[in-house]
Structure 1
Amino acid sequence: MNGIIIRTLKHQKLLCVCRKYTSSAALLERTAVEYGENQGKLEAFQLVSNPANLRGLTFIESKAAHALLLRCSVIYSDIYAANNLLDAYSECSRMDYAFKLFEEIPLRNVVTWNLMILGCNKNFLFDDAWRVYCRMHNMGVGMDEFTYGSVLSACGALEHITSGKQVYGFVLKNGFFTNGYVRAGMIDLFARSCRVEDALRVLYDVHCQNVVCWNAVVSGAVKNKDNWVALGIFSQMFRQSSLIPNAFTFSSVLTACAAVEELELGKSIHGQVIKGGAGVDVFVGTAIVELYAKSGAMCDAIKQFRLMPVRNVVSWTSIISGFVQKGDSASALGVLKDMHKAGDEINTFTVSSVLAACANPSMFKDALQVHCWIFKIGLYLDPVVKASLINTYSKVGAIDLSEIAFAEAQDLKQYLKPNRQFNSRETSTWICSERGMVSEVSVGSSIFTMYSKCGDLEESLKAFEQLERKDNISWTSMIAGLAEHGCADKAVQMFRQMEFENSVPDEKILATILNSCSALHSLRLGREIHGFALRCGFAEHTIIDDALVNMYSKCGDLNSAKIVFHAMPFKDQVSWSSLISGFAQRGYIEEVLQLFHDMLLSGITVDAFTISSVLGLLQF
């Protein structure tokens, strides 16, 4: 292309030149030869005077435009052009070059500073955004609502309450308090920092009618696990006709309903979602699926899941976790297969949920297959996955594999340099705490079970209390740990706490508590648990019957022990031994011999404990 044609190009054509000549040196040479000094300045100004011309430029193309501005000295004379180029670098995520350009601008205006703060926020450089603001303040540059709104957003992301309050003081002083952008930034700061009361105070002080402000408070309350507060705020918001909830509102409030398992309220909000047409949003759809899954309504969860036009990893994982919670391991693994076929992303939480589905002795082969699959997808070394894998192998009874999995955890292994002061269990607990994993059910259960088996009940209780959500497995492990270490009274107290928190005990927990009643010789409490088991339909479980026979025998109520024993559809070695031992301890020779004879006729293997009970009585 010759010089005559280039001189007739408008600034749009010059943009094409910038894209063609990505070498700054080549562009400078061509500009000097073909444009001339005055023509180059004019064309350069036309190029950058319209921000649309710089939108969508790559980093190399932005550098070429920068070189042209330098050659024509436009950057030193026109702040508008310099600001546009500054924004172009920000859009390219090259804040290093944006900062270089910023230092070259001799006379900066408030827009220049605002672009730098906003650019840092866009690129998650929140510390740099705060530093730019501090520099701006120290130089006495006048600030506007965009300055304060942007820096408050940075403070919110950093959760720097003190810094945010300092900025807020200047907001009040300079009269920007009523600005919606500034208000939203301040509310978001408090909400992100889990200061929901302060966020509400700002919200109410200005009578905010902006849905963004209300959303910030609702999401902040959910983040702080003040789920009932979030639902209350949503109720207030809904009563104001001027505020129309959007997809973000519904996803937050549905998450709150799922957390407190408030299914009926969640269904009501689901109806509002359908009415408002927000159901197509992937985050709203995911929250609906999570609500039904956590509340145990798996049919509704599956129905909503199938209606989702786009599914993400959270929605898939919610379905898997829902089946695990219901004890339907086969369905959970089936969903995993469907997820794999769909080619959707699988993360550590998905894997942890799948491993939880395999955490019973009958699923040992499935656990091995999942272990191999984890190797294949490259998540084997993730600490959350590793902790879940260790926990699963422990629960299926494969202690050797659990120990091997722990030893192979490279992410934990680098910290495991035992000395006299710091042993491996303390190290692994510290790592899980540092990574924020202790509050997760699978990881937390593994930690307090480890401490319990080591006899450190104090640390075990601390880890148990850190669990955000306690499932039946965690309650059973904690109660069993207390009972095994002779703390039957504390085990009973833990059972009472479980009842107080509205958790429904299963047959394993009831059997453990009945054994604790035996240790305490508390016939009254044992009868109470027996009545509870009858009401819940657990009386026909062998593990419950064994525990009842043992409890009544040790507490001296041999008549009740015989009634339970003879009502058992299947009498195992434990029930025979418990009844014989109970009669033997009270000197009933004829009854003991008759029971021993009947036990032999039934074909049940006689253990050393039973023989010892009989011989001890005969010797006496």
Structure 2
Amino acid sequence: MVKEPSLLAQLIQSYARSHKLNRGKQLHAHLISHGVALSTFLANHLINMYAKCGDVYHAAALFDAMPQRNLVTWSAIISGFFQNGKSLEALETFSLMRASGVSPTEFAFSSAIQASASCASLECGRQIHCLSMKLGFDAELFVGSSLADMYSQCGCLVDARRIFEEMPWKDEVSWATMIDGYTKNGNFEEALLALKEMVRVGSITIDQHILCCAVSACAGLKACLFGETLHSWVVKLGFESETFIVNSLTDMYAKSGDMVSASRVANLGSHGNVVSCSSLIDGYVEMNQFEEALRTYVDSRRQGTEPNEFTFSSMIKACASQAVLEQGTQLHAQVIKTSFCMDPFVSSSLIDMYGKCGLVKCSIQLFNEIQHPSDIAWNSMMGALAHHGRGKEAMHAFHGMISSGIKPNHITFVNLLMACSHSGLVDSGLEYFYSMQKTYGIRPREEHFSCVIDMLGRAGRLSEVKEFINQMPFEPNAYGWCSVLGACRTHGDIELGTFAAEKLMKLEPGNSGIHILLSTMYASIGQWEDVKAARKLMRDSKVKKLPGFSWVDVDNKTHVFGADDSSHPQIKEIYVKLEELSHKLRQSGFVPLTASDQHSERIAVAFALMRMPATKPIILKKNLRICADCHSAMKIISKVESREIIVRDNARFHHFADGICSCGDYW
């Protein structure tokens, strides 16, 4: 039955509010079937209903069919386009409205400005801003708030702040826009200062959104103490059960390293969700608490929480840091099952994980399967190649990144310089270093200078090391001085080595490696009195020598070995295998440079040869740098046993096969 237009409008409005699209369509069809000519008044309500219910297609079709449109019509369709993610269409319709001679309302202005922000079109936003000033709408609350939000989303925080301060009144939305804008652009201190100013004004009610933005700013600053204050406000105002507040607090505590509070807030048993779960896992990974990260992941899956791309990325990152290949491959299978393979964070994490677990060929294969690699994927690939000493391939990847239009960042150059350092590509590395500022506008950081020191030192170009250090804008960090000391030990520069050791002892007084490098440097040229003095200094300083360990994964279990280890249940069989290997080494002409004690990596590889299938490569990890004796021994073992042996020491990977190491004896 056809009713009065005002009653029909009320009915359509009720369908819009309750999102009853089918009822709205039925009413629309009823009007058409009864030959009711839709007035502009009713058509406007129908456009609004369709847009509110998410059916922007029928809203646009009705708009196009209207013989007459008024200001409300234009505003409704522009808002409808924006609310349904059609920002470009919203801006195009706004331009058509202006071309037809209709002046926008504050609501049309607000939608068009928000559409500009959504498209990240600062130029379009500025043009609409100028028009709003010309027509006197820039002082309207909706328009002003939208302008502040647009400028902050486009990174123009000075303009956002100016608009905010020029507004005749400031409501919760305006303050939230300002705080959120600062937070999203990484200006965390400004976000918290804005919050404090808002509290000082005193006439604004703090809502959930404002608190959420402020907690996120605390997370960015790792400002746990101020975050705890905000947490108390959350409890006081009764927002502690709001999911997005729980997620923000969990993330804040996790980023601050307070995993006890993070776990307590997340409370997976009652209102845990994938966001808080991912924050917890990421926090545990950053704190190197791999077992806790794994437990959280398993518990969340048991409770029915499906992982997202961030969950997988964090878990794969954990596997990479621990070099646990079995768990990493299991996660890879789950990633494939849940169709997250093409996510840039997940795919990059997998590339990194396989690289750090020794299977760089898998990293390359995964990278080649990505149609349009992101900067993260390129950096992960270059990092994997660098750790495996494949410098020329890393250089090739860098040029591929540039030619594909991806801009390098500081991480790109760390990986690239490290790759050149481990491959002896010094001249190329220096070219890349000096191109950072000149060609790509990237100011070199401390880590880039350290890479150059390491690169020059490994190549024995110690006079250039001295010159480079003298020209640096700051003193080298501990890594840089350690590279100098290691290079001096290898190439026999006692004066520079002693100077580097003195610098290191001030930076890291508890580092036993300094004393060991110093004493071995003196021993290499027969200065035995200096050797005694270095060892005495180590004893007097009560610095303990870091014991060497090697570990290998066999049958889903990690087996750890120390030098001359006798604790393993199969130690008798292992030493029988070691004696067999020693005999083969002697037959091959191997003469050890040091005492005949069994180093941990040889014990580990003997065990792996006993227990692992002949077709599977042996992958072992070591907490210290592999020594020259063991490096030579591994080359011979790989040949006489016809096995591929992959060793990850504390600097890089070594791939031993058929008597040759991938490092080319340059490490």
TM-score by length of 2: 0.67
* Pair 1:160-2:88 in alignment: no
* Pair 1:203-2:164 in alignment: yes
Aligned to 2:519: 549
Q: Which amino acid aligns with 1:325?
A: E
* Pair 1:126-2:87 in alignment: yes
CA 1:253–1:513: 2 relative to 1, 3 Å = farther
Aligned to 1:87: 48
- What is the RMSD of the two structures over their aligned residues, measured on CA atoms? 4.5
Q: Which amino acid aligns with 2:595?
A: L
State the shift of 1:155 in Å: 1.9
- Rounded to whole Å, the distance in 1 between the matches of 2:66 and 2:10 is 16
Task: Tell me the alpha carbon deviations over residues 19-39 of structure 1, each in whole angstroms, 9 at most, x when there is no partner.
Answer: xxxxxxxxxxxxxxxxxxxxx
State the shift of 1:361 in Å: 5.7
Contact 1:222 1:230 in 2 (8 A): yes
Deviates more, 1:456-465 or 1:90-99: 456-465
* Pair 1:65-2:27 in alignment: yes
Task: Tell me the alpha carbon deviations over residues 82-124 of structure 1, each in whole angstroms, 9 at most, x when there is no partner.
Answer: 1111122213323222222112222222111111011001101
* Pair 1:600-2:570 in alignment: no
Aligned to 1:271: 232
- Rounded to whole Å, the distance in 1 between the matches of 2:403 and 2:269 is 38
State the shift of 1:164 in Å: 2.2
* Pair 1:364-2:325 in alignment: yes
Q: Which amino acid aligns with 1:532?
A: L
Contact 1:495 1:513 in 2 (8 A): no
Which among 343, 349, 371 is matched to residue 382 of structure 1? Answer: 343
State the shift of 1:212 in Å: 0.7
Task: Tell me the alpha carbon deviations over residues 261-309 of structure 1, each in whole angstroms, 9 at most, x when there is no partner.
Answer: 2222222222222222222222222121112211211122112222895
Q: Secondary structure at the match of 2:595?
A: helix
Q: Which has the higher helix share?
A: 1
Task: Tell me the alpha carbon deviations over residues 553-601 of structure 1, each in whole angstroms, 9 at most, x when there is no partner.
Answer: 679986454344575657879xxxxxxxxxxxxxxxxxxxxxx999537
Q: Secondary structure at the match of 1:233?
A: helix
- Rounded to whole Å, the distance in 2 between the matches of 1:317 and 1:116 is 39
State the shift of 1:146 in Å: 1.6
State the shift of 1:167 in Å: 2.2
Q: Secondary structure at the match of 2:202?
A: coil
Task: Tell me the alpha carbon deviations over residues 286-343 of structure 1, each in whole angstroms, 9 at most, x when there is no partner.
Answer: 1211122112111221122228953332221111111111111111111111121122
Task: Tell me the alpha carbon deviations over residues 109-141 of structure 1, each in whole angstroms, 9 at most, x when there is no partner.
Answer: 211111101100110111111111111111121
- Rounded to whole Å, the distance in 1 between the matches of 2:499 and 2:137 is 68
State the shift of 1:172 in Å: 2.5
Q: Secondary structure at the match of 1:358?
A: helix
State the shift of 1:202 in Å: 0.9
* Pair 1:425-2:397 in alignment: yes
Q: Which amino acid aligns with 1:123?
A: N
Taking the TM superposition and a 5 Å limit, the aligned residue runs for 1:431-446 are none
Deviates more, 1:99-108 or 1:545-554: 545-554
Aligned to 2:68: 107
Aligned to 1:138: 99
CA 1:572–1:318: 2 relative to 1, 3 Å = closer
Number of corresponding residues: 527
Which among 174, 177, 180 is matched to residue 138 of structure 2? Answer: 177
CA 1:530–1:105: 2 relative to 1, 3 Å = same
- Rounded to whole Å, the distance in 2 between the matches of 1:341 and 1:71 is 54
- Rounded to whole Å, the distance in 2 between the matches of 1:338 and 1:493 is 54
Taking the TM superposition and a 5 Å limit, the aligned residue runs for 1:459-538 are 484=458, 511-512=482-483, 514-515=485-486, 518=489, 521-534=496-509, 537-538=510-511
- Rounded to whole Å, the distance in 2 between the matches of 1:290 and 1:125 is 32
Contact 1:517 1:526 in 2 (8 A): no
* Pair 1:399-2:378 in alignment: no
Q: Secondary structure at the match of 2:266?
A: helix
- Rounded to whole Å, the distance in 1 between the matches of 2:241 and 2:360 is 46
- Rounded to whole Å, the distance in 2 between the matches of 1:343 and 1:609 is 49
- Rounded to whole Å, the distance in 1 between the matches of 2:522 and 2:15 is 85
Q: Secondary structure at the match of 2:327?
A: helix
Q: Which amino acid aligns with 1:600?
A: A
CA 1:200–1:516: 2 relative to 1, 3 Å = farther
State the shift of 1:237 in Å: 1.2
- Rounded to whole Å, the distance in 2 between the matches of 1:252 and 1:398 is 41
Q: Can you give the 5+ residue segments of structure 1 that lack an aligned partner in the other structure?
A: 1-13, 15-39, 417-421, 500-504, 574-595, 612-620
Q: Secondary structure at the match of 1:194?
A: coil
Contact 1:451 1:460 in 2 (8 A): no
CA 1:54–1:347: 2 relative to 1, 3 Å = closer
- Rounded to whole Å, the distance in 2 between the matches of 1:529 and 1:164 is 54
Which among 198, 204, 221 is matched to residue 243 of structure 1? Answer: 204
- Rounded to whole Å, the distance in 2 between the matches of 1:377 and 1:221 is 35
Q: Secondary structure at the match of 1:278?
A: coil
Q: Which amino acid aligns with 2:154?
A: S
Q: Secondary structure at the match of 1:344?
A: coil
Deviates more, 1:293-302 or 1:359-368: 359-368
Deviates more, 1:300-309 or 1:246-255: 300-309
CA 1:167–1:372: 2 relative to 1, 3 Å = closer
By relative contact order (CA 8 Å, sep 6+), the higher-ranking structure is: 2
Contact 2:253 2:262 in 1 (8 A): yes
State the shift of 1:67 in Å: 3.6
- Rounded to whole Å, the distance in 2 between the matches of 1:287 and 1:364 is 32
Deviates more, 1:202-211 or 1:187-196: 202-211
- Rounded to whole Å, the distance in 1 between the matches of 2:446 and 2:37 is 64
Q: Secondary structure at the match of 2:305?
A: coil
CA 1:198–1:610: 2 relative to 1, 3 Å = closer
CA 1:512–1:244: 2 relative to 1, 3 Å = farther
Taking the TM superposition and a 5 Å limit, the aligned residue runs for 1:222-301 are 222-301=183-262
Q: Secondary structure at the match of 2:139?
A: coil
- Rounded to whole Å, the distance in 1 between the matches of 2:190 and 2:365 is 45
CA 1:557–1:339: 2 relative to 1, 3 Å = farther
- Rounded to whole Å, the distance in 2 between the matches of 1:555 and 1:132 is 81
- Rounded to whole Å, the distance in 2 between the matches of 1:247 and 1:571 is 52
Task: Tell me the alpha carbon deviations over residues 474-493 of structure 1, each in whole angstroms, 9 at most, x when there is no partner.
Answer: 99989866765668566999
Deviates more, 1:325-334 or 1:56-65: 56-65
CA 1:87–1:394: 2 relative to 1, 3 Å = same
Identity %: 23
TM-score by length of 1: 0.72
Contact 1:44 1:74 in 2 (8 A): no
Structure showing greater Rg: 1
- Rounded to whole Å, the distance in 2 between the matches of 1:166 and 1:423 is 44
Q: Which amino acid aligns with 1:524?
A: F
Q: Secondary structure at the match of 1:50?
A: helix
- Rounded to whole Å, the distance in 2 between the matches of 1:367 and 1:510 is 35
